[in-house]
Amino acid sequence: MKAAIHPAYEPVKVTCACGAEWETRSTHDGDIHLEICSSCHPFFTGKQKLIDTAGRIERFRRKYGNPLESKN
């Protein structure tokens, strides 16, 4: 690598709104504050609910049929 052309890659403290804190390295100046992280995001915690809004899946299956049944 060429000298003096790359930004400083230094340790920074990352803080989430849920209170989780950890240290990483970044070119970002100062600390990083997040609204959501892997400790509190519903996808990673398993609290996410899959909702079939307005029956979209069922409407799709009625319109196009079940692809598993047509292969038999």
Report the number of distinct structural domains present in the chain: 1
Domain containing 19 equals 10-65
Q: Is residue 1 part of a domain?
A: no
Burial of 23 (0-12, 13-18, 19+ CB in 10 A): exposed
In a domain, 4, yes or no: no
User: Is 0.85 topped by the overall pTM?
Assistant: no
pLDDT at residue 38, as a whole number: 79
Supply angle C-alpha 11, 12, 14, rounded to 5. Answer: 140
The pLDDT of residue 53: 65
Residue of 2, 1, 4, 22 whose CA lies nearest to 13: 22
Within-domain flag for 70: no
What's the CATH number where 19 sits? Answer: 4.10.80.400
19 occurs within a structural domain: yes
Q: What is the pLDDT along the chain (72 residues), one digit of tens a residue?
A: 688 898 888 999 999 988 889 999 999 989 999 888 878 876 666 776 666 667 777 788 888 887 666 555
